[in-house]
Structure 1
Amino acid sequence: MQIFSCDHCGHPVFFENVQCLQCGSALAFVPERMAVTAIEPVPDAAPTDPQTPPAEPLWQPRGAGEGAAQRYRLCQNQTRYQACNFTVAADDPNPLCMSCRQTRILPDLSVPENVPRWIRIETAKRRLLYTLLRLGLADPQAKEGPVYQFMADLPGQAPVMTGHAAGVITLNVAEADDDERVRRRVQLFEPYRTLLGHLRHESGHYYWDQLVRDHPQRLADFRALFGDESQDYMQALQAHYAAGDGRPDWRPSFVSAYAAAHPWEDWAETWAHYLHMVDLLETAASYRTRIVLPSAEGAQPSRPADPFQDGRSSFDEWIAQWVPVTLLLNSLNRSLGQDDAYPFALSEEALRKLRFVHDVIAQAGAPVPSDAPAEPTPA
């Protein structure tokens, strides 16, 4: 996503920051503004009655002065666990922010290791929500959308399976442990496995129900491109896992080996890949990245456009910008001795499927504006 800036001093800040390291301002992400904002306590002019419990503190944009129209509370998950940096409108009766209120089941937080697991998952979920909001796919009032349950395996009970069913996204909190997630990635022959990737994938299943399933023409177009989803799902998954590293012929038609398991998984993997692209291109544009790839014909400069600005660039323009960005990304990773951050190669068939996702989203959503600056403001 974009890099933000402290609107008090102009120093660059990140989406998750709760304090500006330059000026010390408290920071919070304000969903109504779609921006990381410097905040300060609302001046308390009323005397405190010692017999009355103190009210939850209110915050306002820093420098707004007394009588500021915009007032917020911090999400209850921040005041209790330091687990969230979203605000809640002062007149909203819900103690949780629009992201945290979507989580319906938590692991047992009295188990010490579950707290950092849950915090890491919620952080990834807020990143997903930001992108869905920007694409116009999420409800800014959090009245619609998927709900989540984050659960831990318990002795004597069946393992918690990550997945989606009837609008509910389930994630096994063990995925928040780096060692366990890498173990599963290697065991399942996957080149990429992250918390954010899981959530993007499962959101794809949710949005297939919302955007494709009940739309006859879209469903017909989907089947022509992805295949007939009415084929037995469990049987298809069993065949996929029995094959070890998947079908040997998946590369010409799919974004990943798992996408070849079933048309539903093909859609979800393609959907997740599309969200990867949107997020990474927005990041590259936010930094005003300019890439020059040497070639036999000479230098070829490329400057990624913000997917949510610049007139919503066409899909073909996105793809033209995508290759240089991923080459730079992987080269930087290799310079640090890391594996490729983007271990994929997109075939023509995979690109056609990504274009289908692009078109479905364009028809369904309208980008949510942000009052955050597109580029960092110099300090």
Structure 2
Amino acid sequence: MRYFSCDCTSADGNPVALFFENTQCLSCQRQVGWCFEERDMLVFDQNKDGGFHYKGRDYVPCANRANGVCNAMIPADTISAKPALCFACHFNDNIPDLNVDGHAELWGNLERAKRRLLFTLDSLSLPMPDKQQSPEGLSFHFMADKDASDHFRTPLTHVAAVFTGHAQGDITINLAEADDVARHRMRVDMGEQYRTLLGHFRHEVGHFYWDLLIKPDEAKLTQFREIFGDPDLSYQEALDKHYARDPDDQSWRSEFISAYASMHPWEDWAETFAHYLHIIDTLETAREWDLIDFGKYAGLTLPQDDGPCDPQRLIDCWSEFSVKLNALNRSMGLPDAYPFVNNPVVVGKLKCVHSMLNKTR
């Protein structure tokens, strides 16, 4: 994530930092918001009638800003339909029932993670068709279980729950994943090292890009088979075998980034894709906040930057920084931020993801 700041200054004369989720500058109190069209966090002046202005242009809040779940602002001269929805919100096909207590807050958590996802995809110049552009275009469905107790059950033992997943461009996220307690319980029950909202989005969109970029391209499909395996293997059989596995079986560690990745080549791709986004986004944040010296890696550039990116230098930089990141977390009494080992096989898969996306760009 890039570094953003307001044009005002703090008491010590330094620029006031803005986070990607901010709706107001805490120093000058002006309204701020993410503008997809400008690809920037903008700070707005307001006139007496409450209108928003930035450098002589009028802006309108995304309709979901009033719900407290979105901070986006839209150039008024680009709006052609009502309600006015920003680029991120226009992908929503289902949102939670806001008449249920707590749903608005959980929905807000989902939207913040989704905007971060779309920011990264846009920075990589990846295509993001919607349902109007393609029947298998991207859409999001944020839905809740009929029975809240389903949040705490093993996913394969009940039928009332909403399953987080992807199908034909539709990404469904169970609203329970936005509840910290429910998500932690699920992480423990499933024996997972890492489970976050942003991680879910990055994993599921990996499936979307497999369908969009790899499945129809014979050359990419051949490369995929060589690196990840046969995608035509029975998914149901792989699923049954995965959940029947002894939880103490650690044989997957030599070839996969996670136990779930070992289930099927599709999941291996989606998990590796998600980790690729973890790596490049975190390294961008570290660079923007002067936490890492890219010069040490012979002028390393990131895939988001203009110009070529050497994937081996990228991995080398991440290998060093992730150790420091984990050390910082431990100093705060927190679990490792990145509890994974990128062994040589996994590195090869990360390089494959890099290659596939680079060709698309």
What TM-score, normalized to structure 2? 0.88
SS in structure 1 at match of 2:252: coil
Find 1:230's aligned residue among 214, 229, 232: 232
- Find the counterpart in structure 1 of residue 108 from structure 2: 119
Contact 2:166 2:172 in 1 (8 A): yes
- Does residue 1:59 correspond to 2:52, yes or no? yes
- Find the counterpart in structure 1 of residue 154 from structure 2: none
Judged with a 3 Å threshold, the aligned counterparts in structure 2 of structure 1 residues 310 and 132 are, in CA distance, closer, same or farther, namely closer
Identity %: 42
- Does residue 1:88 correspond to 2:74, yes or no? yes
Instruction: Report which stretch shifted further, 1-10 or 116-125.
Output: 1-10
Query: Following TM superposition, by how much is the alpha carbon of 1:309 offset from its aligned partner in structure 2, in angstroms?
Result: 2.9
Find 1:132's aligned residue among 102, 106, 121: 121
Amino acid at match of 1:103: N
Q: State how far apart, in whole Å, the 2-side matches of 1:142 and 1:278 are.
A: 28
Give the number of equivalent residue pairs: 339
Instruction: Report which stretch shifted further, 4-13 or 337-346.
Output: 4-13
Contact 1:164 1:206 in 2 (8 A): yes
Q: State how far apart, in whole Å, the 1-side matches of 2:290 and 2:131 are.
A: 32
Deviations for 1:212-255, whole angstroms, at most 9, x for unmatched residues?
00000110110111110111101101110111438532111111
Deviations for 1:333-360, whole angstroms, at most 9, x for unmatched residues?
0001111010001011111111111011
Amino acid at match of 1:147: S
Q: State how far apart, in whole Å, the 2-side matches of 1:13 and 1:212 are.
A: 37
SS in structure 2 at match of 1:170: strand
Find 2:342's aligned residue among 323, 343, 346: 346
Amino acid at match of 2:217: H
Contact 1:128 1:196 in 2 (8 A): yes
- Find the counterpart in structure 1 of residue 321 from structure 2: 325
| Higher relative contact order, chain-length normalized (CA < 8 Å, sep 6+) | 1
Q: State how far apart, in whole Å, the 2-side matches of 1:113 and 1:318 are.
A: 41
Alignment of 1:35-184 (within 5 A): 35-41=40-46, 58-61=51-54, 64=55, 68=56, 70-79=57-66, 81-91=67-77, 92-94=79-81, 95-139=84-128, 145-155=137-147, 158-184=160-186
Find 1:34's aligned residue among 27, 36, 39: 39
Deviations for 1:297-343, whole angstroms, at most 9, x for unmatched residues?
xxx96697554337343111111211121111101000011110100
Q: State how far apart, in whole Å, the 1-side matches of 2:40 and 2:25 are.
A: 14
Query: Following TM superposition, by how much is the alpha carbon of 1:146 offset from its aligned partner in structure 2, in angstroms?
Result: 1.3
- Does residue 1:3 correspond to 2:3, yes or no? yes
- Does residue 1:15 correspond to 2:8, yes or no? no
* Structure 1 unpaired stretches of 5+: 45-56, 293-299, 366-379
Contact 1:88 1:97 in 2 (8 A): yes
Contact 2:176 2:182 in 1 (8 A): yes
SS in structure 2 at match of 1:164: strand
- Find the counterpart in structure 2 of residue 289 from structure 1: 291
Find 2:257's aligned residue among 252, 255, 258: 255
Contact 2:131 2:138 in 1 (8 A): no
| Greater Rg by CA | 1
Contact 2:141 2:173 in 1 (8 A): yes
Q: State how far apart, in whole Å, the 1-side matches of 2:250 and 2:188 are.
A: 17
Deviations for 1:93-149, whole angstroms, at most 9, x for unmatched residues?
241111011111112110011111111001100000000000011449996541000
Q: State how far apart, in whole Å, the 1-side matches of 2:132 and 2:43 are.
A: 27
Contact 1:205 1:264 in 2 (8 A): yes
SS in structure 1 at match of 2:290: coil
Query: Following TM superposition, by how much is the alpha carbon of 1:276 offset from its aligned partner in structure 2, in angstroms?
Result: 0.3
Amino acid at match of 1:183: R
- Does residue 1:196 correspond to 2:201, yes or no? no
What TM-score, normalized to structure 1? 0.84
Amino acid at match of 1:325: F
More helix by share: 2
Judged with a 3 Å threshold, the aligned counterparts in structure 2 of structure 1 residues 142 and 326 are, in CA distance, closer, same or farther, namely farther
SS in structure 1 at match of 2:254: coil
Q: State how far apart, in whole Å, the 2-side matches of 1:234 and 1:348 are.
A: 29
Deviations for 1:82-103, whole angstroms, at most 9, x for unmatched residues?
2111112213124111101111
Judged with a 3 Å threshold, the aligned counterparts in structure 2 of structure 1 residues 227 and 177 are, in CA distance, closer, same or farther, namely same
SS in structure 2 at match of 1:11: strand
Contact 2:329 2:336 in 1 (8 A): yes
